Amino acid sequence: MSKGEFYNEISKAIVNLDEEKAFEYANKAINESMNLLDVIEKGYAAGIRLVGELWEEGEFFLPELMRGAQIMQNCLDLLIPHLQKGSEKISRGTIVIATIEGDIHSIGKTIVGTMLRAYGYDVYDLGADVPAEKIVEEAMEKKADIIGVSALLTTTMINQKKIIDLLKEKQLVGKFKVIFGGAPVTSAWVEECNADGFADNAIEAVKLVKSLLNQ
């Protein structure tokens, strides 16, 4: 079985809500010393994104969505200690992440948070539909280095800019790096908002965080 086929089988196990298979593949990846970052991003994360799409299309309902997320989390709990053993030593940082107010999509953000924790960062996940004021308050309270804000809809993406506006209002510009995520986010939007970057997926988010904290 090629790597691509193996990742597809993992993804299929998540979509089929087959916990036994999903665990079997996690153990296989560990025992065969595979690249666990790729296994998570191209296998498990790809699978849970498909589950999310099925939910949005009305083919899955909330119990299936929650079951898929739970199976993935259980597999990640198995994989992450091994990932930490093999990962390079990096300077840790504190990151507050949330899905912006008006948007209830949280799967992508949750995957990003999980990957960042795997790399040794302290991550505070505030959940979905979170007002900009609360995100900034939490960042101040937790002495965060980075604020990460996700939006999956063009209608809610506008609210990401409220974070930057609030930081200006409170004279906190430069205190935190602000990064965006979500399907409609582009480099042009990040530039327009004066944010510090965006990432297309969890692996890119880890790279972005690392580069911003090493500046």
Last residue of a domain, one of 37, 59, 86: 86
CA 38 to chain centre: 15
What average pLDDT does the segment 122-128 reach? 94
Residues 142/175, Cβ–Cβ less than 8 Å: no
Q: 192 and 148, same structural domain?
A: yes
Q: 105 and 76, same structural domain?
A: no
Last residue of a domain, one of 58, 86, 114: 86
For residue 146, pLDDT beyond 50: yes
Q: How many C-beta atoms lie closer than 10 Å to residue 139's C-beta?
A: 26
Q: 113 and 180, same structural domain?
A: yes
Q: 167 and 81, same structural domain?
A: no
Q: 148 and 203, same structural domain?
A: yes
* Alpha helices by DSSP H, 99-144: 107-118, 132-141
Which pLDDT does position 150 carry in this prediction?
96
Q: 104 and 78, same structural domain?
A: no
Maximum alpha-carbon separation in the chain: 56
For residue 187, pLDDT beyond 70: yes
59 contact partners, CB below 8 Å, separation of at least 6: none
Q: From CA 147, how far away is CA 39, in angstroms rounded? A: 27
Say what the pTM is: 0.70
| Residues in a beta bridge with 54 | none
42 contact partners, CB below 8 Å, separation of at least 6: 7
Residues 147/136, Cβ–Cβ less than 8 Å: yes
Q: Please give the residue range of the domain that contains residue 175.
A: 94-213
Q: 108 and 82, same structural domain?
A: no
Tens-digit pLDDT profile for residues 7-57? 999 999 999 999 999 999 999 999 999 999 889 889 998 898 888 788 878
Beta strands, E only, the chain: 94-99, 122-125, 146-150, 177-181, 197-199
Residues 72/47, Cβ–Cβ less than 8 Å: yes
Mean pLDDT of the chain: 90
For residue 178, pLDDT beyond 90: yes
**Number of domains making up the chain:** 2
Last residue of a domain, one of 53, 70, 86: 86
- 114 HSE (CA, 13 A, CB side): 26
> CA dist 60 to 152, 170, 183, 205, Å?
19, 43, 21, 28
Q: 112 and 57, same structural domain?
A: no
In three-state secondary structure terms, 114 is helix
What CATH number has the domain bearing residue 185? 3.40.50.280
Q: 78 and 98, same structural domain?
A: no
What CATH number has the domain bearing residue 20? 1.10.1240.10
Which pLDDT does position 87 carry in this prediction?
52
Tens-digit pLDDT profile for residues 43-99? 998 898 888 788 878 999 878 887 888 898 899 889 988 876 655 544 579 999 999
Q: From CA 67, how far away is CA 73, in angstroms rounded? A: 10
Rg of the chain (C-alpha set): 17
Q: From CA 85, how far away is CA 167, in angstroms rounded? A: 37
Q: 112 and 68, same structural domain?
A: no
- Considering the chain, what percentage of its residues have pLDDT values greater than 70? 96
Q: 70 and 122, same structural domain?
A: no
Q: Best-predicted range by mean pLDDT among 62-71, 122-131, 206-215?
A: 122-131
Q: 121 and 57, same structural domain?
A: no
For residue 164, pLDDT beyond 60: yes
